[in-house]
Amino acid sequence: MSTATKDHAALSDIFNADEARVNWHDDTLWFVRAKRDKAAHTLPEWERLRDTASQIKDNVLSNLHDYLLQFESNAQHNGITVHWAADAAAHNRIVHEILNDNGIRQLIKSKSMLTEECHLNEYLKEQGVDVIDTDLGERIVQLAEEPPSHIVLPCIHKKKEEIGTLFHEHLGTPEGMSDPVFLTAAARLHLREKFMTRRAAITGVNFAVAETGEFVVCTNEGNADMGAHLADVHIACMGIEKIIPQRTHLSVFLRLLARSATGQPITTYSSHFSKPRPGQQMHIILVDNGRTTQLGREDFRNSLKCIRCGACMNTCPVYRRSGGHSYHTAIAGPIGSILAPNLDMKKYADLPFASTLCGSCTNVCPVKINIHEQLYKWRQVIVKEGYASPAKTIAMKTMDFTLSHPAVYQKAGKAGRWFLKHIPFAVNNRMNAWYKQRDMPEPPKQSFREWFKENNTMQKNNSDE
């Protein structure tokens, strides 16, 4: 399905054609949100942890330049080769060059949302390099030739029966087999062979520690470790905002990350990589790709605090009922909706509007990004930059005129008449969109104003007319 020309609303409409599936998707992710709540409530200091994490990230964003150089210097001292990439294309090129230098045409990759953002898999495929994703969820969507729909739970949109069919087609499991234990065992065997034979492994980076030059990769499956420990060449890809000043700060972030993401007290594997083992090459690519632009946007720089836990997606009532693919960007949900317009404002102009601004995302965010406020602010920027439709602009100007002129409003607004034509939430007179599945409020005999005019003589308080 091509998602290039459809916006979030249109894609959500398609997703909602199967209501039972929407219910299942919503329940599945709500279950994760509930687990997160339970885990958070076991720590009385939870809100203080969030404050602390947010403040550490404030420090990072204000001193990013220095921390990156400190990290580079320490990493190099440890024997890690450090690369700098200004954008996605540079990042992909660097990966390809490292592979070429080592004569490698096949590699394995553990979960890295940065490589999704940079479309590394597609790029390498074009260069004739074979990539196997080793995170189970990522492998499933890779077999399905789909992007991940969630940053922590890449195939959360897929039912086990659908995974069974995919595995039957690609891995030769028995037809109709959808037992998760059986399917996981099949994936294990399939991936084990890849771990053993592939000479290069790409991993993401959850945290890079400036004071030590080490980086930390968190997985539940141990797949990053199996890949990196067996490969001759380890390439770690990270966005420059992933830096933290000191190792001790991990004690804040690691406690927040897994609890926020899945409700676990800690991720199964939090692996520290500080230097290559003898004979191994270890590379780290520090990628900007729009991050310094975002850092320069005062209202939006806080979005760079994100530690990619996915809690905002799990709690988002819109995400749960529209699915990750409806956001048509690598990072879906509320956080994706404030990151994507920075990369391409025209292409992602719809995303800040794909929210009711309920604010639940902001409340679960472990680093206290004011996500819903940034969604509101992006709306203002997008309109000002000219990405609102002309019809919407005219409708808004008409509305503003009426609502700024009481005489016009009162004349137009006799008991709901004006509203039924120009109801503020029904831009472009799209009344059909309201009426399709909802009844209109019945216009009363009198508006409150009319009632008040008739009755205020009986009240002890008069109007100030």
**Rule CB under 8 A: which of 305-364 touch other proteins?**
315, 317-318, 321-322, 353-360, 362-364
Q: How far is the CB of 351 from other proteins (least distance, A)?
A: 11
Q: Which of 6, 30, 81, 144 binds other proteins (CB under 8 A)?
A: 30
Tell me the backbone φ, ψ of residue 273, rounded to 5 degrees: -110, 115
Is 32 a binding residue for other proteins by CB under 8 A? The answer is no
Residue from 371, 406, 35, 67 nearest 238 by CA: 67
Residues 126-185 that bind other proteins (CB under 8 A): none
Q: What's the Cα-to-Cα distance from 403 to each of 319, 339, 379, 434, rounded to whole Å?
A: 33, 34, 21, 22
Q: What's the Cα-to-Cα distance from 140 to each of 149, 153, 184, rounded to whole Å?
A: 11, 11, 11
Neighbours of 241 (CB within 10 A): 23
Q: How far is CA 229 from the centre of its chain?
A: 29
Is 419 a binding residue for other proteins by CB under 8 A? The answer is yes
Q: Which of 16, 220, 274, 280 binds other proteins (CB under 8 A)?
A: 16
Nearer to other proteins, 217 or 351 (CB): 351
| Contact map string, positions 359 to 388, toward other proteins, x by CB under 8 A | xx-xxx-----------x--xx-xxx---x
Residues 35-74 that bind other proteins (CB under 8 A): 37, 40-41, 43-44, 46-47
Q: Are strands 214-219 and 269-273 parallel, antiparallel or unpaired?
A: antiparallel
Q: How far is the CB of 286 from other proteins (least distance, A)?
A: 33
**What does the alpha-carbon distance between residue 175 and residue 188 come to, in Å, rounded to a whole number?**
18
Q: How far is the CB of 16 from other proteins (least distance, A)?
A: 4
Is 122 a binding residue for other proteins by CB under 8 A? The answer is no
Q: How far is the CB of 270 from other proteins (least distance, A)?
A: 23
Is 81 a binding residue for other proteins by CB under 8 A? The answer is no
**What does the alpha-carbon distance between residue 396 and residue 28 come to, in Å, rounded to a whole number?**
38
Tell me the backbone φ, ψ of residue 107, rounded to 5 degrees: -150, 165
| Site stretch for other proteins (CB under 8 A), options 171-179, 265-273, 301-309, 389-397 | 389-397
| Site stretch for other proteins (CB under 8 A), options 194-202, 225-233, 339-347, 439-447 | 439-447
Copy the structure tokens of residue 342. 């920075």
**What does the alpha-carbon distance between residue 410 and residue 31 come to, in Å, rounded to a whole number?**
48
Number of residues located near other proteins, criterion CB under 8 A: 91
